[in-house]
Amino acid sequence: MSSEWDGAAWFKSGDSNDHGCVEIAFHEGRVGVRDTKDNGSGPVLAFTEHEWECFLSGAKKCEFDLPR
């Protein structure tokens, strides 16, 4: 089965472990995010570069930190 993400190079954080992880790919001007546990067969959330930059900016400002 062919996918619009065929040929994408997927990356995951060095902090990833066996308990869960997501991976990302930069492909054809978009950013894809998927769950590594699906071994490449699960859905991909797709974002524009602008959307991804906005998310990263908010993450760096701790806007998405878990409540403690």
Q: How far apart (Å, rounded) are the C-alpha atoms in residues 28 and 21?
A: 23
So what's the pLDDT on residue 31?
A: 97
* Per-residue model confidence (pLDDT) at position 19: 78
Q: pLDDT tens digits for 37-67?
A: 888 888 999 999 999 999 999 999 999 999 9
**Is the model's pLDDT at 7 over the cut of 50?**
yes
Q: What is the pLDDT of residues 12-43, one digit of tens each?
A: 988 888 777 899 999 999 999 999 888 888 89
Q: Are 47 and 30 in contact (CB under 8 A)?
A: yes
pLDDT band at residue 1 under the 50/70/90 scheme: very low
> What contacts 31, CB < 8 A, 6 or more positions away?
24, 25, 46, 47, 48, 49, 51, 52
- Structure-token pair, residue 45: 């959330």
In 3D, which of 5, 4, 50 has the Cα closest to residue 24?
A: 5
Q: What is the pTM of this model?
A: 0.83
